[in-house]
């Protein structure tokens, strides 16, 4: 059993900010990243919580990222928001462009934000949940590094290529999902490696293309998409939507750009937003009720909605004022400040 420690919620943000600023990130970037990591940790998303500080610092050591550069939101009279991260982390760029994306969505009914030239490592659900909190539906996708083999293939061509969606609900948590199109997220494999646990069958191949449950062999080989050809097709779609469509890098190009330095992948991100009021012809309340009947029938069968456990963890951890995280990881992070 993995030994855990209790960490107060305020300490999450403070520890993250201190490590990031010491690593070389500006106060603005450290704040945006820490907000994301703390949010994920409070929701018990271990693979995208403070564990990702290790990747942030590795990215800075790689020497390609600018930890102080500020993003630029480009002027536009269309429904498209373009934000140039200029070689910085994505989160400050999302923060800069999100108000304009919401404004344009309410004006046009549908709008999109293209973020270019960013390093990206984080979960997508906090971004689409900003849209659902504003009463909009949101969809986000990014490529990564070419760690994932296509269905029928043996080497990495595709990224983990996550897809996230959030649907607003009145007076309750939104319907949200956020998952990699690979069978496992890269961070989950790294956590299995740290814990000394074998992977499930069918999520990775080794460097020779043979099935493996060894986390290190998986990291040295290639991950597999979920759902065979269906997951592979979705992953390819994300390569196109978050790469060539917005004039940014594919996962193979991101891998080549890294030149073996490690750290977060470098590419773009696309976020789509939809205004239910426009799409429903103003009949939001009626259609919300129809959506709720779908959710109710799912729950009535004893099934869970996506993110249900995450929202339960958020409520539990917020109420008690602390989270539990692996003791070894907490020790490793605090040692980075000594």
User: Cβ-count burial of 210 within 10 angstroms (0-12 exposed, 13-18 middle, 19+ buried)?
Assistant: exposed
Residue 211 pairs in a beta bridge with: 205
List per-residue pLDDT tens for the chain, 338 residues long.
Answer: 679 999 999 999 999 999 999 999 999 999 999 999 999 999 999 889 999 999 999 999 999 999 999 999 999 999 999 999 999 999 999 999 999 999 999 999 999 999 999 999 999 999 999 999 999 999 999 999 999 999 999 999 999 999 999 999 999 999 999 999 999 888 889 889 988 999 999 999 999 999 999 999 999 999 999 999 999 999 999 999 999 999 999 999 999 999 998 899 999 999 999 999 999 999 999 999 999 999 999 999 999 999 999 999 999 999 999 999 999 999 999 999 98
The interaxial angle of helices 9-23 and 327-335, nearest 10 deg, is: 40
CA distance 286 to 21: 49
List the domains of the chain with CATH numbers.
1-62+307-337 (1.10.1530.10), 71-183+224-306 (3.30.1370.60)
Catalytic residue numbers read: 47-48, 188
**H or E stretch covering 317:** helix 308-320
- Give the rounded distance of the alpha carbon of 238 from its chain centre: 14
Question: Residue 324: helix, strand or coil by DSSP?
Answer: strand
Q: What is the DSSP string of 271-287?
A: EEEE-HHHHTTT-HHHH
List the helix and strand counts (H, then E) for the chain: 13, 12
pTM: predicted TM-score of the whole model, two decimal places: 0.94
| Cβ partners under 8 Å of residue 336, min gap 6 | 19, 22, 53, 57
User: Minimal CA–CA distance to 274: which of 143, 157, 139, 141?
Assistant: 139
């Amino acid at each position: 059993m993995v030994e855990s420690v209790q960490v107060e919620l305020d300490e999450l943000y403070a520890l993250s900010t201190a490590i990031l600023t010491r690593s070389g990130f500006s106060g603005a970037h450290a704040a945006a990243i820490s907000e994301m990591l703390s949010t994920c940790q409070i929701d018990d998303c271990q693979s995208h919580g403070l564990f990702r500080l290790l990747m942030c610092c590795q990215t800075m050591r790689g020497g390609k990222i600018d930890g102080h550069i500020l993003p630029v939101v480009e002027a536009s009279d269309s429904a498209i928001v373009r934000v140039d991260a200029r070689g910085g982390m994505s989160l400050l760029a999302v923060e800069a462009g999100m108000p304009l994306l919401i404004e344009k969505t309410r004006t046009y009914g549908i709008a999109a934000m293209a973020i270019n030239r960013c390093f990206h490592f984080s979960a997508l659900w906090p971004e689409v949940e900003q849209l659902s909190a504003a009463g909009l539906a949101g969809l986000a996708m990014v490529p990564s590094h070419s760690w994932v083999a296509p269905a029928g293939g043996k080497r990495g061509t595709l990224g983990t290529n996550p897809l996230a969606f959030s649907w607003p609900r009145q007076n309750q948590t939104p319907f949200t999902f956020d998952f990699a199109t690979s069978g496992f997220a890269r961070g989950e494999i790294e956590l299995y490696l740290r814990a000394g646990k074998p992977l499930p069958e069918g999520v990775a191949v080794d460097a020779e293309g043979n099935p493996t449950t060894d986390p290190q062999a998986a990291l040295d080989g290639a991950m597999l998409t979920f759902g065979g050809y269906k997951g592979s097709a979705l992953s390819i779609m994300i390569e196109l939507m978050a790469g060539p469509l917005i004039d940014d890098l594919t996962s193979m190009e991101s891998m080549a750009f890294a030149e073996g330095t490690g750290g977060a992948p470098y590419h773009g991100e696309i976020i789509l937003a939809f205004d239910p009021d426009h799409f429903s012809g103003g009949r939001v309340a009626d259609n919300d009720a129809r959506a709720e009947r779908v959710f109710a029938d799912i729950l009535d069968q004893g099934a869970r909605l996506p993110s249900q456990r995450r929202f339960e963890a958020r409520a539990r951890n917020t109420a008690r004022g602390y989270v539990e995280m692996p003791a070894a990881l907490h020790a490793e992070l605090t040692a980075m400040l000594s």
